[in-house]
Structure 1
Amino acid sequence: MALLKRINPFSRKNDDTGFGTNPNGFGGRFINRDGSFNIRREGRPFMYRFNIYHALLNLPAWKFGCVILLFYFSINLLYTSIYWMLGPEQLQGIIGQTTWAKFKELFFFSTETFTTVGYGRVNPIGDGANMTAAIEAMSGFLSFAVATGLIYGRFSRPRAHLLFSDEALIAPFKGKTALMFRFASYKEHHTLTNVEVLVTAGLQIQDNGNAVYQFYTLSLERNKIESLSMNWTVVHTIDDDSPLLGFSAQDLENADVEIYVTVRGFNDVYANTVIQRTSYTYQEITFNRKFIPMYRESENGKTTILELHHLNTSKPIEDPGA
């Protein structure tokens, strides 16, 4: 990969990113678009590194629901198999005559015991079935306690609820050139206050003949606002102090440029400070386009409509030198 021949010496270097400088140690982007770090840990046993509570809290909602259903049916099939091995005669009230009918009744008896519903028609009479039912009832209310905690944790976890534009743009801005992207809160009646944004550029450069990664904090036209009620277009002017001064699209690729973003604000709903991250690689930076406005007046003229479907909408600049 060709490397950039120079970096503006007046740019603000950032050595506190937590990333190293050796380009041979990195694969892909530093931060994923969803804000997670693009890192996989090795060198210790999997179960030592794995945290099931953390994993379940961070699963997408549909995967979390599937895990709950899979666990529910799997554990009831396990207990059904135990009742079957003990023998259906250890439970009274079974009216099924075929093997399948008896198995179904044992399964539904298991679900009633696991959830402590206990309808009463089928009940254990043998010592083995009674002991299994007692253990199952205990595992049932413990499981529901854990599931309740997980569901509460997922619902109550503070979130920023932000959407970022798919691309960052480099285009003329107030007689100069600027890098810009935008984001907005997508929840109804949801506003962040004391919102701050930090933007860092990571790029590969030549340092004494060696390829290294360096990181630079980008100065912004505005890095803090009191409240995020609409969208915010973050602008970095590419001036004499910018590490991106004079970069073309090919330069961005040669330097493997990644722009990563941290947004921090106070969420009134959760009464807590929330953080959300994202990043833009050189493939996601487009030249000579500008965002179109994403808000309009309502039909009755009394409300401002924020058009979230236009968050990524931009149009080409016909005369970039204008």
Structure 2
Amino acid sequence: MALLKRINPFSRQNDDTGFGTNANGYGGRFINRDGSFNIRREGRSFMQRFNIYHALLSVPAWQFALVILLFYFSINLLYTGIYWWIGTEGFQGIIGKTSWEKFKEVFFFSTETFTTVGYGRVNPVGDGVNFVAAIEAMTGFLSFAVATGLIYGRFSKPRAHLLFSDHALIAPYKDKTALMFRFASYKENHTLTNVEVLVTTGFQVQENGEAVYKFYNLALERSKIETLSMNWTVVHPIDENSPFLGFTAQDMEVADAELYVTVRGFNDVYSNTVLQRTSYTYQEIIYNRKFVPMYRESDNGKTTVLELHHLNKTKTVE
């Protein structure tokens, strides 16, 4: 693919992005749509790179619940196997006749010991099973302490709770052309204050016969607002200082253009500063479309309705 050779010389270059300039060292986008960095680390063992605590705080809720359930059943099956290996004669109160019935009773005894419920019909009498039951009880309350900490950490983790439009748009704006995208907070009573947005773009260009990436901060019509109570359409006017000056959709593709966005604000609920990122590649930048309004007056005229399902709704520029 041919490389872009021209960039508006009046654009303000950013050399402090943390990304390298070597175009041959990158694959795909810099930042994923969910805000994570598109980087895979190698050169160290998996256990050196993997952090269980961070992973369990970060995985989706359904995966976290699945891990908890799998751990609970797996650990109880492990202890059931140990009890079975020692022998069921170390218990009293077992009424099952077949091996499967006895196994089930031992398994449920394990769950009752692990959770320290201890209903009482089946109880250990042998030294071996008593010792294992003591270890299992300790394992149980330690496991629940860890699980409680993880659940609290997931619930209390400060988040921005922002939804970004699927596409960025380039369309006429006032007396010029502008690039724009929008976002909104989707949680009730999670209003961000002192909200700032930083938008940077990366281009792949030809320099001294080599393909390199150049990064530019985009000047915004407004980069800070006091309160994000509704949606915010972020606008970058494409003027004489913009790196997009004179760009066509084909130029965007040739330059492998990508916008990456950082939004930072104060969340009153968490009483903490929160941050969220996203990005738009050239495939996600659309020409000659504009956003439609996504708020309206309520039917009784007493409040404003923010229509989040219209976040991505656009129309053709006439």
Would the TM-score normalized by the shorter structure come out above 0.5? Answer: yes
- Secondary structure of 2:62's counterpart equals helix
C-alpha separation in 2, matches of 1:92 and 1:252: 76
Q: Please give the residue correspondences for 1:121-136 in structure 2 after superposition, counting only pairs within 5 Å.
A: 121-136=121-136
Q: Percent identity?
A: 81
Code of the residue aligned with 2:28 in structure 1: it is G
- Secondary structure of 2:293's counterpart equals coil
Instruction: Render the CA deviation track for 1:126-168: whole Å, top value 9, x for unaligned.
Output: 1110010000000000000000000000000000000000000
C-alpha separation in 1, matches of 2:11 and 2:4: 15
- Secondary structure of 1:94's counterpart equals coil
Structure 1 residue runs without a partner (length 5+): none
Q: 1:120: how far off? A: 0.7
Code of the residue aligned with 1:228 in structure 2: it is L
- Secondary structure of 1:30's counterpart equals coil
- Does the CA contact (< 8 Å) of 2:197 and 2:263 recur in 1? yes
C-alpha separation in 2, matches of 1:95 and 1:85: 19
User: What is the aligned-residue RMSD (CA, Å)?
Assistant: 0.5
Other-structure match for 1:291 = 291
C-alpha separation in 2, matches of 1:28 and 1:106: 53
C-alpha separation in 1, matches of 2:161 and 2:176: 32
Q: 1:207: how far off? A: 1.2
Other-structure match for 1:63 = 63
Length-normalised TM-score, structure 1: 0.98
Code of the residue aligned with 2:314 in structure 1: it is S
Code of the residue aligned with 1:73 in structure 2: it is F
Residue 191 of structure 2 is aligned to residue 191 of structure 1: yes
- Does the CA contact (< 8 Å) of 2:5 and 2:207 recur in 1? no
Q: 1:193: how far off? A: 0.1
C-alpha separation in 2, matches of 1:50 and 1:24: 27
Other-structure match for 1:246 = 246
Length-normalised TM-score, structure 2: 0.99
Code of the residue aligned with 1:151 in structure 2: it is I
C-alpha separation in 2, matches of 1:5 and 1:45: 41
The number of residues matched between the two structures is: 318
Other-structure match for 2:120 = 120
C-alpha separation in 2, matches of 1:9 and 1:210: 19
Q: 1:183: how far off? A: 0.1
Q: Please give the residue correspondences for 1:2-81 in structure 2 after superposition, counting only pairs within 5 Å.
A: 2-81=2-81
Other-structure match for 1:263 = 263
C-alpha separation in 1, matches of 2:229 and 2:208: 48
Instruction: Render the CA deviation track for 1:28-86: whole Å, top value 9, x for unaligned.
Output: 00000000000010001110111000001000000000000000000000000101111
| Shift >6 Å, 4+ stretches | none
Other-structure match for 1:111 = 111
Structure 2 residue runs without a partner (length 5+): none
Q: 1:5: how far off? A: 2.1
Code of the residue aligned with 2:310 in structure 1: it is H
